[in-house]
Structure 1
Amino acid sequence: MQLPTAVEALSALAHGHRLAVFRLLVRAGGEGVAAGEIAREVGVLPNTLSTHLNILGHAGLISSRRDGRSVIYAANYDGMRDLLGFLVADCCGGRPEICGSLGEIAERSACCAEDTPA
């Protein structure tokens, strides 16, 4: 990932509602969530949600697909991994003890728990 792409993704996440939408979609997994349900869960009006979804999509963090009359949004896990990889690429100047184990952090998180499908 290049710096401008990382900045765009971080900028997209630097808003409370967009971050809430992204976290909701990450939790939802590959099946995604319909736009109406996202609006209800996050507590935003549909037209405002549309703007947020467009920003997240343009940043490569989410994708959408049509399912009948609904639009289903899902997290783009490749985009998320690319951003996380960019953020830790130069982690701690070769001294991993400074950062701790990012793998252990992921294992403790809800998305990576054994009983939760990823």
Structure 2
Amino acid sequence: MDEKIALAVFECLSSSVRLGVFRLLVKAEPAGVVAGDIAAALDIAPSSLSFHLRTMTQAGLIGVEQEGRFLRYRANLALMTEVVGFLTENCCSGVPGGCRDADVLSARISDCGSRNSRQESKA
């Protein structure tokens, strides 16, 4: 992963609103959440939420798709897996399997992404 991408992700998530949005979207995978429901769940004004969603979309943290007159947002778990890999790539002096906690975390994120892909293909 390019360091500039990682920095953009970290900068984006340094906002408590955007961190809350991302965590909400992770919980809602694979269905995602429409913008109005995000605003209601986090008690954020729609105009403020729009700014944060646009920032997150530009950083690649979330994806959006049109559903009629609604916009549905989903967390980009593949990007987050790459970020975790970037953070842990030099873990334990590069000894494969030496960082059990990092391996467990990466496996959990990958498993979540795999479950989401399987559920989307059933739909």
TM-score, normalised with respect to structure 2 = 0.79
1:64 aligns with 2:39: no
Q: Distance in 2 between matches of 1:87 and 1:106?
A: 11
Give SS of 2:44's match.
Answer: coil
> Given the superposition, is the C-alpha separation of residues 34 and 19 from structure 1 closer, same or farther in structure 2, using an over 3 Å criterion?
same
TM-score, normalised with respect to structure 1 = 0.82
Amino acid corresponding to residue 5 of structure 2 in structure 1: T
Give SS of 2:73's match.
Answer: strand
Q: Distance in 1 between matches of 2:108 and 2:10?
A: 23
Could you tell me which runs of 5 or more consecutive residues in structure 1 were left unpaired when the two chains were aligned.
none
CA shift digits 1:26-50 (9 cap, x unpaired): 1111221000000111111011101
Please tell me the root mean square deviation across aligned C-alpha atoms, in Å: 2.2
Could you tell me which runs of 5 or more consecutive residues in structure 2 were left unpaired when the two chains were aligned.
117-123
Q: Distance in 2 between matches of 1:105 and 1:82?
A: 12
Q: Distance in 2 between matches of 1:55 and 1:79?
A: 15
Q: State the aligned residue count.
A: 112
